[in-house]
Amino acid sequence: MKAEIITIGDEILYGQIVDTNSTFIAQRLTRLGIEVTFRTSVGDDIEKINQAISHARARAELIITTGGLGPTSDDLTKKAIVKVFKRNLIFHEEILKKVEEGFARRGMIMPKINQNQALIPQGSRIVDNDWGSAPGIFIQEDKLLFFALPGVPLEMKTMLDNGVLPILKESIPRSTTLHRRLKTTGIAESAIYEKIEKIVKSKTLVKFAFLPSYLGVDIRLTITSPNSKESEEKIAEKERKIREILNEYIYGTDDQTLEEVVGELLLTKKVNMATAESCTGGMIGAKITNISGSSKYYERGVITYSNQSKTDLLEVPARLIEKCGAVSQEVAISMAEGIRKLAGTDIGLSVTGIAGPTGGSQEKPVGLVYVGLSSKDGSFAQEFRFGEDRFPNRQRAAQAALNVVRLFLIKL
């Protein structure tokens, strides 16, 4: 099944928003074994939307559009559908009710313009929208499946998963393309390549790709074959070989995040944790608590941004800060010990560093970061040297700190 994704909105062509919608849709379709052949973005212009949908209609068996379904005047998708599919708009009382109920739940009265949302092209079906007021539209015409979804990511995602994918699953043959992502951190792309070059270059159906980001490098293995059991075995064999070489650099697979992996380790090892952050300013806490259930292993955190707060809360001696500097191995260790004592947890984790752009010196350049860890077995700090830019330095520091915890936990 060949699919096209059309994202609608001037903001995409102007670059005012990131087109995460087509990424999400592509991901879901790929998992089902549906081939995405074309991604198009058009502006809020009725003629261009008409064109995009018409072109796709001539080529594809599945079209998913996002955007342009809201009640405001720049939302034109429904008008384009009327034109391209030659169908009238019909008023549906029960849709109006749903929209009104949605507003009522939030204690609001429905503005009049939302009445438009009860108008639906003749012969089409509705895709329910639990999060917003605009319902989606589903049209089946000969071999073509057409879905129009709203552009607000949370609404679109829920509707795709609950309303669209179940229909698609019935219409397609079993997937024959398999992916596997091995997620590494703390090692450069080219260093990985050199280590596993032989495996990459060996004659095989498995395709390799290396995807670097601030969080690390993902190694993606892909295989397409009619025999899905054989594919699984081949991917598993490559994974085994790569794991033998890269070992601890691999922290997870596929959609796993480092904070998930650390959370699972903390649960398994029955160990709890607290954090003391300086340059990351709460990012580590925010990552950890993004996981539902993290209260089972995350007790508290402090964001000790000022020197005073390091002394007050963590009992880091003012003289130590004066002597070694707030960004030093000694202070990182003292912070980790301080937060462990304060919180009464098994592990205390600390980060102190120079995020930049200011605050660097010859001796201690921007990008210098120390991660400290304290436990009943003692304390240590590890030094990292990142780049010159504030944003990636903070991202990398948070990831490096979580990785220090992971490496500590797997040896427990």
Tokens (6 digits) for 244: 């033998």
Out of 60, 168, 200, 335, point to the residue binding a second copy (CB under 8 A): 200
Residues 6+ apart with CB under 8 A from 339: 274, 275, 276, 301, 302, 313, 314, 345, 348, 349, 350, 374
State yes or no: residue 212 binds a second copy (CB under 8 A). Answer: yes
Interaction of residue 20 with a second copy, rule CB under 8 A: yes
CA–CA dist 64, 38 (Å, integer): 11
Q: Please, are residues 275 and 284 in contact by the beta-carbon 8 Å criterion?
A: yes
Helix (H, G, I), strand (E, B) or coil at 132: coil
- The least CB distance from residue 123 to a second copy, in Å, is 28
Helix (H, G, I), strand (E, B) or coil at 59: helix
Reported as type and span, the H/E element at residue 267 is helix 258-268
Judged by beta carbon, residue 121 or residue 356, the one nearer a second copy is 356
**Interface mask toward a second copy for 312-351; x: CB under 8 A:** xx----------------------------xx--------
d(Cα 259, Cα 267) in Å, to the nearest integer? 12
Position 362 contacts a second copy (CB under 8 A): no
Q: How far is the CB of 68 from a second copy (least distance, A)?
A: 10
Within residues 26-85, the interface with a second copy by CB under 8 A covers 26-30, 36, 39-41, 44, 70-74
Name the one range near a second copy by CB under 8 A: 57-65, 187-195, 226-234, 237-245: 187-195
Least distance in angstroms from the C-beta of 122 to a second copy: 25
Name the minimum Å distance from CB 306 to a second copy: 5
Choose between 140 and 232: whose C-beta lies nearer to a second copy.
Answer: 232
DSSP conformation letters of 309-377? HHHHHH---HHHHHHH-SSSHHHHHHHHHHHHHHHT-SEEEEEEE--SSSS--SSS-TTEEEEEEEETT
Looking at the Cβ atoms of 90 and 154, the one nearer to a second copy is 154
Residue 308 touching a second copy (CB under 8 A): yes
Backbone angles phi, psi at 221, to 5 degrees: -105, 135
Q: Which two tokens stand for residue 278?
A: 């300086």
The owner of tokens 């209609």 is 57
Q: Which residues pair with 119 in a beta bridge?
A: 91
* Binds a second copy by CB under 8 A, chosen from 61, 83, 210, 246: 210
Is residue 210 within 8 A of residue 217, CB to CB? The reply is yes
Query: Which stretch in 56-64, 87-95, 138-146, 210-218 sits in contact with a second copy by CB under 8 A?
Result: 210-218
The answer to whether the bond into 357 is cis (omega within 30° of 0) is yes
Asked whether position 360 contacts a second copy by CB under 8 A, the answer is no
The minimum distance between CB 111 and a second copy, in angstroms, equals 4
What phi and psi values does residue 290 have, to the nearest 5 degrees? Answer: -70, -20
Give the whole-angstrom CA distance, residue 398 versus residue 284.
5
Map the footprint of a second copy across residues 217-246, applying CB under 8 A.
218, 220, 222
- Footprint of a second copy on residues 270-289 (CB under 8 A)? 275, 277, 279-286, 288-289
Per CB under 8 A, 214 contacts a second copy: yes
Q: How far is the CB of 172 from a second copy (least distance, A)?
A: 17
Nearer to a second copy (CB atom), residue 141 or residue 388: 388
Interface residue with a second copy among 57, 175, 193, 407 (CB under 8 A) is 193
Q: Is 176 in the site for a second copy (CB under 8 A)?
A: no
Strand partners of residue 371:
351, 382
> Does residue 191 touch a second copy according to CB under 8 A?
yes
Q: Is 194 in the site for a second copy (CB under 8 A)?
A: yes
Shortest distance, position 56 Cβ to a second copy, whole Å: 14
Q: Residue 74 or residue 233: which is nearer to a second copy going by CB?
A: 74
